Amino acid sequence: KAGVTQTPRYLIKTRGQQVTLSCSPISGHRSVSWYQQTPGQGLQFLFEYFSETQRNKGNFPGRFSGRQFSNSRSEMNVSTLELGDSALYLCASSLKDGSPLHFGNGTRLTVT
Amino acid sequence: AQSVTQLGSHVSVSEGALVLLRCNYSSSVPPYLFWYVQYPNQGLQLLLKYTSAATLVKGINGFEAEFKKSETSFHLTKPSAHMSDAAEYFCAVSDLGGYNKLIFGAGTRLAVHP
């Protein structure tokens, strides 16, 4: 069974631009979560989607948004990029509540 | 608010020595607790998970962790370190507001020397 797939692996954007990251969960997994990883703040929860609905949200500004499609694939969008948005963005999927999260290899975003 | 504290941002051991990575959590109820490992340029891989079924949890690659409610600890151990164990290890607790909302510790980078 294929794991969680995130595309692209690397992105370089300019401050003020917007970016969309994509995540394909493991087949059958309906929950998709997004995390931001930075050297300074560590791993922080962004949001979780389940059956196309946002179920939980972390403490990030409204510039960070996401959505989930009927096939459980998810995208996250960051608008008006700031230098501090440079990070590894990790997507994780799970089969059901209480099941372990399976992480993708992440998308490394660099904002210049 | 829940939090996770990992004592020691860097731990160095010799190959064959005991690995002990410390994790303490703050939670008012027994939570779900996890240990994840991250290799360079990769995502997180689940090592083990505590779900209250047993206080001693065995995971992959010879790792295990013991849940001690009285100490609010969930330390990770491995009897004999291998070079391939060198990586960053994260302890995490599920948030009371959602099973899939994990609160991570700052991580411990494990170095293994020959």
**Phi, then psi, of B84 in degrees rounded to 5:** -70, -10
Instruction: Name the residue in chain A with its Cα closest to that of B52.
Output: A98
Q: Is there a contact between B99 and A58 if contact means CB atoms under 8 Å apart? A: no
- For residue B13, give the 3-state DSSP assignment: strand
Q: Which of B12, B83, B94 is nearest to B50 (CA)?
A: B94
Q: Residue B30: what pLDDT?
A: 61
Nearest CB to B100 within list A33, A42, A106:
A33
Q: Residue A28: what pLDDT?
A: 93
Chain A and chain B share a number of CB contacts under 8 A equal to: 61
Separation of CA A69 from chain center: 14
Per-residue pLDDT of chain B (114 residues; tens, 9 = 90+): 788 999 999 999 999 999 999 999 987 666 789 999 999 988 999 999 988 778 899 999 999 999 998 899 999 999 999 999 999 999 999 887 777 889 999 999 999 999
Q: Is there a contact between B51 and A105 if contact means CB atoms under 8 Å apart? A: no
Q: Residue B96: what pLDDT?
A: 73
Q: Read off the pLDDT of residues A23-79 as tens digits, 9 standing for 90 and up.
A: 999 999 999 999 999 999 999 999 999 999 999 999 999 999 999 999 999 999 999
What does the alpha-carbon distance between residue B66 and residue B50 come to, in Å, rounded to a whole number? Answer: 9
- For residue A85, give the 3-state DSSP assignment: helix
Residues in contact with A89: Cβ distance below 8 Å, sequence separation at least 6, in sequence order = A6, A21, A34, A35, A36, A37, A46, A76, A106, A107, A108, A109
Q: Residue B53: what pLDDT?
A: 73
Contact B27, A90 (CB under 8 A): no
Instruction: Collect all residues from A whose CB is shorter than 8 A from any CB in B.
Output: 4, 31, 33, 35, 42-45, 48, 55-56, 58, 90, 92, 94, 97-98, 100-106
pLDDT band (50, 70, 90) for residue A96: confident
Which residues is B89 bridged to in the sheet?
A: B37, B108
Amino acid at position B54, single letter: A
**Measured between CB atoms, does B41 come within 8 Å of chain A?**
yes
Nearest CB to A100 within list B49, B105, B107:
B49
Q: Which of A95, A101, A103 to substitute to test the interface with B, most B CBs within 10 Å?
A: A101
Read out DSSP for B58-106?
E-GGG-EEEEEGGGTEEEEEESS--GGG-EEEEEEEEETTEEEEEEE--
- For residue B17, give the 3-state DSSP assignment: coil
Q: Is there a contact between B97 and A43 if contact means CB atoms under 8 Å apart? A: no
Q: Read off the pLDDT of residues A77-94 as tens digits, 9 standing for 90 and up.
A: 999 999 999 999 999 999
Nearest CB to A56 within list B41, B101, B106:
B101
Contact B61, B55 (CB under 8 A): no
